Every structure is written in structure tokens, then in C-alpha cells.
Amino acid sequence: MEIASNLLLGLSVALTPENLLYCLFGVFVGTLIGVLPGIGALAAISMLFPLTFHLEPTTALIMLAGIYYGTAYGGSTASILLNIPGTTSSAVTCLDGYPMAQQGRAGVALAMTAFASFFGGVFGILVLSAFTPLVAAWALSFGSAEYFALMVLGLVAASTVSDGSPVKGLAMVVLGMLLATIGMDPQSGVARYTFGSLSLLDGLSISALAMGLFGVAEIITSVRANTGRTIQARDVSLRSLMPTRDDFRRSWMPALRASTIGSLFGALPGTGPTVASFVSYGVEKRIAKDPSRFGKGAVEGVVAPEAANNAADQTAFIPTLSLGVPGSATMALMIGAMMVHGIHPGPNLVTEEPELFWGLVMSFWIGNLMLVILNLPLIGLWVRLLTVPYKILYPAILMLVCIGAYSVHYKAFDVMVVLGFGALGYLMRIFSMPAAPLLLGFVLGPLIEQHFRRAMVLARGDFSAVIERPISGTVLLITLLVLVWSLWSSFRKRRQTLAAATPGPRIEDED
């Protein structure tokens, strides 16, 4: 059967000592980069890019890819242990991961994210292996109208991401969207809110924003906070590191759903792991029997985003390999690595370069396995890191954040952006305003605006054209239904709590 021969071909390529070595190197560097807040995959891959000229193309790709999906494994470590995301796609993992650590379940959280990442990665690989041509064709059919509809759905689905006052949560989404308008407007070329600054023309750097908002603000809050930060070494017994059967039982459906969502967003150029992590978290919270557990250490809140971002990282290769279209700056480097060797990714890649394609796919399996094996024992190490006194830890984190921000453009400007968002983040904490929705708005806002405006240009100003297109029309309808359902269910909840609160003759439960 053809699939079997392809897989065998892939294995024969992926299992050569050279490729295995570079795979291991890539995933190891990737994990390290993911763990370190501030530095992301793009910086690492850019640095190692010149190395790929001297390597075989398959080997080069295996290494770069390893770094790429490796970061999605390591990113959750800092999120869980320090409430500071190691990568932007792990920001959502802070919401439940950190509370879990505070409840003494850091090891469990880390283990579950490793498993979730593996689950998501494998799911993504399966989609990549079996459905690449289908998914690629489907991605092509997504014009701006469809993107617009999907991003709106994503926004509605993810809007439940925060606890506390819904007004504040929505206000933060709006603020995030406003901050994202800073820069040159892609549709008109007008520089918005840049006040002549060339550095602002491309907008605020998302990693500087996330580092300031989540990282610096967290440090400000935690320094000398007397919250019993230092955990005794003896509390970190091996048993406390192991997830319970209950954890697994609760996790596998969210992992499955999140992997599907992740695969979807990953395969669409222009969206990726960050959006996927938000949306999958929001979905899980919405359909959970007891949504109030989220934000307080629900294991689903950690499993969903991590499965989603890993799935998205794998399926991001679908448009890259089969269309030759980079969905992000990192993918552009992957394509560059191929082009240097004269390989042009595209619909013919699978048939013309089967060793490359299947070798790469099989290396993803091997890489993910390596990562799980690497990461699980490291959990003990990371948790022991918690015992390092905070007064040593926080200057280190500040330094990492500063260097990481600087390394984006090698300009002090980005460090100033971190400063600004650190101040904003702290201010928001004083006002009890949640940070995650701001990041959500910042990521989705420009997608919604640009795709809507472009869809209008392409539809010559006729909005009904957007509704009439099959995909966008359906997605918008689903969005409407979700909105109606969530409004109705919150209304119902309000009635229930009112009914429970008002004293009166004892009525047996009606609902």
C-alpha cells in the first residue's frame, strides 16, 4: 500500500545517524528556547539559518523544524512555574498552570503539558501525513471573507478566557485591538499612532508586549510578596509529580478537541499557535460542566492550549510544504532553507521529493518522541528550580526578558516597549483587569480588521456577498448561534443564582 511504503521511505531517511543527531539537536535547542522567556523560535531559527546552507536540505529542515515545534514543548514550563510565558503561544497556559503550581501540583501540570503537547503534535502529524493535499486546497479556498468570519468566531469563542468582570475582560480585548492598530495600516498605507517613529511603523512587537504585560508585571507583583513562594525541596516528591488517573480522564477529550482546533488554525497561513491556544481554552471553558474551575488550576485549562499550539505547529507545515507559501516569518525561513538547495515547495513536492517530505514527516514523529522523553525527566529539574530563592530568580528573568526583547530588532526600542507594557501590566493588576484578553485582542484585532476591509474591497462594498459565500456564511451563522447560546445560558445562570438567593417558600428545583 502506498502509505506504508511512504512511511518506510520516510523512516529510512529520518533514522540515519546524521538526521537523528540534528533532530535531537534541534528539539533540544527548541525546548531550551521555549523555556527561556523572551527568546522565541524565530530568533533561534534565524541564527541557525546560515548553517543550513552546508547541510543536506532534509537534514537542515529536520533541525529547523525541531527547534520550531520544540519551543511549543518548553514554553509551558515558565508559564506554569513562574506565571511568565516562555513563548507567546503559552501565555494562556499561565491561567491554570500557575494556580496548579501554587497548589503544589507543578509536576502534574508539567507532565500533563508534556503529554498534551505530544498528543497535539501527533494529531497534527497525522493530519499532515494523511490530508495535506486536501487541507492545502481547503486553505486556498479561504479568502479574506472566510478569514474574517473565522476570526470573529475565534474571538467569540475565546472571549470567556478570563475570570472576573466580563466588562473588564471585554474592555481588555478592545484595548488589545486598539494597541494593534498602532503602525502602518496595511490597507491604506497610513501610519496610525506612530507620531513619526519609524520603529513603530511595523507596530508593537508581540513578544515585547507579552513579556512586559505578563513577565515584568508578574515580577513587580511577586518581588517581596510574601506569598510563600519558595517551596521546600522535600515537598517535591516523585509522587506529587505524577498526574492522577482523574487528570488523564479529564484531559483526553479536551486534548482531542484542542488538537482539532489547533490543526485548523495552524493550516491557515497567517494564524497559528497563539490564536489556537486562546480559542481552544475558551471552547473548553464554555463547554465545561463547571466553568468556574478554570483559572483556578483546572487541568483542562493546561491541556487544551498546549495540545492546540503543538498541533498548530505541525500543520503549519502544510501550506509551507504543499503550497510554498509561508504562513509566518519562521516558515519563510524554512522555505528559504529549501530554496537555497533548489527545492521549490509546492503541490508537486510530495511526488517530486518524497524523501524530503516523508523524511521530514517521520522526523516529526521521532522529534516529538524525543521531546517527551527529554521533557519528562526534566520536570524534576524544573520544579527544583522553584526552590531557588526568588531574589536570585527575578533579576535573571528580567535580564532574559531584556535580552530577548532586544534580540528581535537589536534596538533598545523594543526593550522600552517591554518597559511600557510592564508598567501597563502592573497598572492593570491594580485595577483588576486581566491581561490574557488584551493579548487575544492584540492578535485577533488586526486579523479581523484587515480581512474585513479586504473582503469589502473584493466584494466591492457588498456585505451580502460575504454572507452568501458558503464557508464565511456558515461560520458567521455558527458565530451568531454561539453568541445567542452564551447570552441565553448566562441569562439562565443569572436567573438561577437570583432564585437561589431570594428567600421564599421552598420550591423544589424546576430546571
Partner 1 sequence: MKLIKLAAMATVLATGAAQAQDFPSSPVTIIIPYGGGGSTDLIARALANELGQMWDQSVIVENRPGAGSMIGTAFLAQAKPDGYTLLVNTPAHATAPAVQKTLPFDPKADITPIGMVATSPYLAVAGTAVQSTDLAGFVAESKERPMFFATAGVGTSSHFAAELLIQQAGIDGEVVHFAGGGEAQTNLMGGHADVYISNTASVMPYVNNGQVKALTILGASRYDALPDVPASGESGANAIDINSWVGLFAPGKMDPALVEKLNADMHKAVASETFKKVLADNFVLPGSGSAADFKAQVEAEMELWSTLATERNIIAE
Partner 2 sequence: MSRLDIRELAGGLFLTATGAGFAGHAIANYSIGTVTRMGPGMVPAGLGVLLVIFGLVVIATAFLQESRGRSIRIAIPAVILLSVLAFALLITPFGLIPAVVACVIVATLAEEKFDPAFSLKLAAVLCLIAWLVFVVALQLPVTLFAWPF
Query: How many whole angstroms separate alpha carbon 505 and alpha carbon 130?
Result: 61
Q: Which of 82, 42, 459, 5 is nearest to 273 (CA)?
A: 42
* 422 interacts with partner 2 by CB under 8 A: yes
| Cβ nearer to partner 2, comparing 2 with 410 | 410
Choosing among partner 2, partner 1, none, which partner's interface includes residue 143 (Cβ < 5 to 8 Å by kind)? Answer: partner 1
| Cβ nearer to partner 2, comparing 15 with 423 | 423
* 185 interacts with partner 2 by CB under 8 A: yes
* 43 interacts with partner 2 by CB under 8 A: yes
Contacts to partner 1 from residues 402-421, by CB under 8 A: 409-410
| Cβ nearer to partner 2, comparing 302 with 433 | 433
Binding range to partner 1, per CB under 8 A, among 19-27, 91-99, 452-460, 502-510: 452-460
Q: How many CB atoms lie within 10 A of CB 421?
A: 27
Contacts to partner 1 from residues 171-230, by CB under 8 A: 184, 186-191, 196, 198-199, 201-202
* 332 interacts with partner 1 by CB under 8 A: yes
Q: What angle do CA 39, 170, 488 make, to 5 degrees?
A: 130
Query: What is the three-class DSSP state of 183?
Result: strand
| Cβ nearer to partner 1, comparing 305 with 345 | 345
Q: 56 φ, ψ to 5°?
A: -60, 145
Query: How many whole angstroms separate alpha carbon 100 and alpha carbon 97?
Result: 5
Query: How many whole angstroms separate alpha carbon 69 and alpha carbon 309?
Result: 9
Contacts to partner 2 from residues 326-385, by CB under 8 A: none
From the list 171, 378, 471, 482, which residue makes contact with partner 2 (rule: CB under 8 A)?
Answer: 171
Choosing among partner 1, partner 2, none, which partner's interface includes residue 306 (Cβ < 5 to 8 Å by kind)? Answer: none
- # binding residues, partner 1 (CB under 8 A): 48
| Cβ nearer to partner 2, comparing 113 with 450 | 450
Q: 117 Cβ partners below 8 Å, 6+ apart?
A: 72, 73, 76, 306, 307, 309, 310, 368, 371, 372, 375
* 470 interacts with partner 1 by CB under 8 A: no
Provide the mask over 247-276, with x wherever binding to partner 1 is found by CB under 8 A and - wherever it is not: ----------------------xx------
Query: What is the three-class DSSP state of 166?
Result: helix
* 396 interacts with partner 2 by CB under 8 A: yes
Binding range to partner 1, per CB under 8 A, among 76-84, 106-114, 286-294, 326-334: 326-334
Binding range to partner 1, per CB under 8 A, among 77-85, 303-311, 321-329, 490-498: 321-329
Choosing among partner 1, partner 2, none, which partner's interface includes residue 198 (Cβ < 5 to 8 Å by kind)? Answer: partner 1
Choosing among partner 2, partner 1, none, which partner's interface includes residue 8 (Cβ < 5 to 8 Å by kind)? Answer: none
Cell reading at 11: 523512516
Q: How many CB atoms lie within 10 A of CB 452?
A: 20
Query: How many whole angstroms separate alpha carbon 286 and alpha carbon 254?
Result: 12
DSSP state of 92: T
- # binding residues, partner 2 (CB under 8 A): 63
Residue 410 zone, left/alpha/beta (φ > 0; ψ -120 to 50; rest)? left
Binding range to partner 1, per CB under 8 A, among 45-53, 75-83, 295-303, 359-367: 45-53
Q: How many CB atoms lie within 10 A of CB 384?
A: 12
From the list 265, 281, 364, 452, which residue makes contact with partner 2 (rule: CB under 8 A)?
Answer: 452
Cell reading at 259: 488538537
| Cβ nearer to partner 2, comparing 102 with 221 | 221
* Residue-wise DSSP of 188-247: T--EES-TT-SGGGG---HHHHHIIIIIIHHHHHHTT--S--PPPGGG--HHHHSPPHHH
Residue 275 zone, left/alpha/beta (φ > 0; ψ -120 to 50; rest)? alpha
* 326 interacts with partner 1 by CB under 8 A: yes
From the list 225, 329, 477, 484, which residue makes contact with partner 1 (rule: CB under 8 A)?
Answer: 329
Query: How many whole angstroms separate alpha carbon 38 and alpha carbon 30?
Result: 13
Q: 503 Cβ partners below 8 Å, 6+ apart?
A: none
Owner of C-alpha cell 470573529: 152
Provide the mask over 256-295, with x wherever binding to partner 2 is found by CB under 8 A and - wherever it is not: ----------------------------------------
Provide the mask over 191-230, with x wherever binding to partner 2 is found by CB under 8 A and - wherever it is not: -xx----------------------x--xx--xx------
The CA R_g of the chain, rounded to the nearest whole Å, is 23
DSSP state of 348: T
**Burial per residue of 216-245, b for 16 or more beta-carbon CB atoms within 10 angstroms, e otherwise:** bbbbeebeeeeeebebeeeebeeeebebee
* 453 interacts with partner 2 by CB under 8 A: yes
Q: Which residues bind partner 2 (CB under 8 A)?
A: 29, 36, 39, 43-44, 47, 165, 167-168, 170-171, 174-175, 177-178, 181, 185, 187-188, 190, 192-193, 216, 219-220, 223-224, 391-392, 394-396, 398-399, 401-403, 406-407, 410-412, 415-416, 418-419, 422-423, 426-427, 430-433, 445, 449, 452-453, 456-457, 461-463
Q: Which residues bind partner 1 (CB under 8 A)?
A: 46, 49-50, 53, 140-144, 184, 186-191, 196, 198-199, 201-202, 269-270, 319, 323-326, 329, 332-337, 339-340, 342, 344, 346-348, 409-410, 450, 454, 457-458
